[in-house]
Amino acid sequence: MSRERLIRRRLRALGVTPPQELNAHFQALVLKLEEEHIRHYAISERRALKDADSKAFVKALLKYCDDVGVEIDDSMLVDGKLTEEGITSVLDGLTLAALEEEYTDLVSGEPATRIPHNLQTRNCMFQQLGAARIAVMTVSPLYKTRSTTSWSYSAYRRCNQTHPCRKFGNENATKLNTVHMNLADVPCGIRSDNAVVTKAARVLRTLHSQELCKLQADIVWLSERFQELTANPVANCHAR
């Protein structure tokens, strides 16, 4: 799997629609990942990442990547600008950091009791059925090792109310100095002596399970909506 394809899969798992050209929307993607998922900086510290001047932005980006632990090789910089390889490398590192931050609850086993305040209507079935039941419907092996009582929609898609910084509206409440995800409890599904391969397999299995759950949510919502529209077509016609 190419790095660009992997980046696009990670963005979709984070609820971000990947743009057709990643390079053309690079700065916007960096800001979105920081503001909505990684949240390493306080709001005032993010201003440098919004600088319209390309060289000033790259300078701020280098500092930011160093702060969050994303390495940028010197060969990826030419005349003060990132090469295409450098842009891909940064997005690779930042999407992984964002994904690990979002899935901390998922792999740690900590109960996720809050329901996101901005939960869309089409995802209300998570409140009715619960993530564990959805996992059973999709026959996902990931959730067979977990207690069904500790799962909720926020284990898949954490938002403002589930993060310490977001819960109390204080950007400085928690600052991540390192990004780490323990995948030891996730079934690997393959046999390999290479730790990197094993971790990659577990991350991909986690992503695959999450995508299946989102697909199941869409199917259930569409089914319910179809039933509503066909239950009383005369009333629906007058309502329009």
Helix residue spans in the chain (DSSP H): 3-13, 26-33, 54-68, 84-102, 104-108, 125-129, 131-137, 164-167, 195-231, 233-239
Question: What are the residues whose beta carbons fall under 8 Å from the beta carbon of 99, sequence distance 6 or more?
Answer: 10, 13, 14, 37, 203, 207
Please report the pLDDT score of residue 53 as a whole number.
87
Over residues 18-46, the mean pLDDT reads 91
**In sequence order, what DSSP letters do the residues of 97-121 get, joined into one string?**
HHHHHHTHHHHH-----PPPTT--G
Please say whether the beta carbons of 64 and 41 come within 8 A: yes
Please report the pLDDT score of residue 234 as a whole number.
57
Structure-model confidence comparison of residues 51 and 140, the more confident one: 51
Supply 14's token pair. Answer: 């984070």
Please report the pLDDT score of residue 215 as a whole number.
80
Residue 196 phi, psi (nearest 5): -65, -45
The CA-CA-CA angle for residues 125, 129, 135, to 5°, reads: 105
Report the mean per-residue pLDDT for the chain. 68
Over residues 180-189, the mean pLDDT reads 53
Please report the pLDDT score of residue 83 as a whole number.
92
Beta bridge pairs of residue 81: 78
Please report the pLDDT score of residue 32 as a whole number.
93
Supply 107's token pair. Answer: 């792999």
Q: Which residues of 115-151 are buried (b: 16+ CB within 10 A; e: fewer)?
A: bbeeeeeebbbbeebbbbbbbeebebebbeebeeeeb
Q: Percent of the chain at pLDDT above 70?
A: 57
Question: How much is the pTM?
Answer: 0.47
Has residue 13 got a pLDDT over 50?
A: yes
Has residue 29 got a pLDDT over 90?
A: yes
Please report the pLDDT score of residue 202 as a whole number.
72
CA nearest 111: which of 61, 154, 167? 154
**Alpha-carbon gap, residue 94 to 38, rounded angstroms:** 8
Domain ranges across the chain: 3-108, 185-231
